[in-house]
A and B are shown apart, each in its own frame.
Chain A
Amino acid sequence: MRCVRLCGLLILALTGAAHSAVLPDDRADVFYSTYKGGGMDITGKSILVRKKFAESFSVQANYFIDTVSGASIDVLSNASVIKDERKQKSVSLDYIRGKTSYNVSYANSKETDYISDTMHLALSQDMFGDLTTVTLGYTRGWDKVSQRSGTAITPKGQADRRSYDAGLSQVITKNLLGSLTVEVITDEGFLNNPYRFTRYVDPTDGRGWNQQPEVYPGTRTSTAVTARARYYLKYRAAASVSYRYFTDTWGIRGNTFELGYTHPISNRWIFEGRVRLYKQGPANFYSDLFPRRDAQNFIGRDKDLAGSKNTTIGAKVTYAFLPEGWKFFKRGTVTLDLSRIQFKYDDFRNIKDYGIADGFAPGAEPLYKFNANVLQIYASMFF
């Protein structure tokens, strides 16, 4: 079972909902990635093709497949190791008329225990001498959630998703760009992860605690606001900064801060570095250890709902080849991107590796933390 809201976000990204009224370049991409950390090993592969036609239209198709082996600590605590595959297909159509661009997209994602369909509509308008671009978007998603146990698949429920986003991109000076994005997302239905359990104090159990399935509210509405700026430095380089504030009806508050630096060398190389800091407070129905079974109406122990912080350091290098073009290709690039992410949890304890037998009473086990390494390699051909 994967996390929710995959397709809508991907098509938002792949359609470039915030671009101004210029169609994106024709291109073909081949992508490969690995994620290792927290007991999980994920390999991703993707291809993307985008092509203009009839002067005002551009169509894009993307196929993404990722393979997961292992499982995060929430699942490992229940001794079930996952091996699964997710396949996602998306198509997108852009149309430009004057200073307005329109986009409609569809995506479908399938895995053994999760099926998701998403539609996305967006409208983008240039104004004030093309210094300002306003974007409005609407996303609608339908998810079917199941639980896998061995070869048996048990339907658990459905989730309906709606997202409203608005963006303002602004040319501030001849060296500075700014943007502001607001997105409101509302979900309704089965929002649990069926593989997660809560734990509660149980002196009759040898561990001193016992487990019961999580119970989440049937609705969730969140609001996120992101402000970004990008500045062109004197010696042809760029510096960027962004901040996002997040809040939702489950009581989670999140703050994300990111700095980036881009430095080209000749027309062949682009080097980039980034630092990202994230911190969140817990959901109001989260607890690492409840005092008893059915302690309250809603109960959760998914570590994603816990108070936590993480830090990312990333580096990326892009090499441009075929600067003079070849056949019908105008140019090509190949990119290597490495990230290291350090996750730390404020109130999520490591009950997989520590317990009473190791001298740790329930609720006194060491806090969980882990590191993840993300590798991306991809080639892009522009034509």
Chain B
Amino acid sequence: MKPRMLKLSLLAALMLSASACSSIKPWVKPYERDRLADPIMSWDRDAISGAYLDHIYESREGSRGATGTAGGGCGCN
């Protein structure tokens, strides 16, 4: 997908989302979110560690991106 196409798609999605704002009501109430707020539900509790592991993979694989986290040391000599 080209960057321009991606931007247009995102813009369209945002506009659709905004127009639907008034008709959608939150189906999970704030007082029902205690479990989701538990630290064990965090996508990535430790930034350095997550970045380090993702970077290990990225420097040894052809794939890259969309990890949410990545980076750190490389050493792919």
Determine if B61 and A280 form an interchain contact, defined as CB atoms under 8 angstroms apart.
yes
**Which of A13, A131, A248, A376 is in CB contact (< 8 Å) with B27?**
A131
CB contacts between A and B, total, < 8 Å: 245
Q: What 0/1 pattern do residues 312 to 330 of A give for CB contact below 8 A with B?
A: 0000001000000000000
Given A184-B65, A237-B40, 10 additional A-B pairs, CB 8 A: A16-B44, A35-B73, A66-B72, A86-B74, A129-B25, A177-B43, A226-B67, A283-B62, A335-B49, A372-B56
Query: Is A241 an interface residue when CB atoms closer than 8 A count as contact?
Result: no
**Which of B18, B52, B63, B70 is in CB contact (< 8 Å) with A254?**
B63
Determine if A10 and B75 form an interchain contact, defined as CB atoms under 8 angstroms apart.
no
- Range, interface on chain A: 35 or more
**B9 to A: closest C-beta gap in Å:** 8
Please list the residues of chain B having a beta carbon within 8 angstroms of any beta carbon in chain A. 1-3, 6-7, 10, 14, 17-18, 21, 24-28, 30, 32-33, 35-36, 38-41, 43-77
Given that A71-B77, A224-B63, A226-B67 are contacting pairs, would A164 and B28 also be in contact in the complex, using a CB cutoff of 8 Å? no
Please list the residues of chain A having a beta carbon within 8 angstroms of any beta carbon in chain B. 1-3, 5-14, 16-18, 29, 31, 33, 35, 40, 42, 44, 46, 48, 62, 64, 66, 68, 70-72, 75, 82, 84, 86, 127-132, 134, 136, 162-167, 171, 173-175, 177, 179, 181-186, 193, 195, 221-226, 228, 230, 232, 236-238, 244, 246, 248, 250, 252, 254, 256, 262, 264, 270, 278, 280, 283, 304-305, 308, 310, 318, 335, 337, 339, 341, 343, 372, 374, 376, 378, 380
Given that A9-B51, A86-B73, A238-B41 are contacting pairs, would A252 and B56 also be in contact in the complex, using a CB cutoff of 8 Å? no
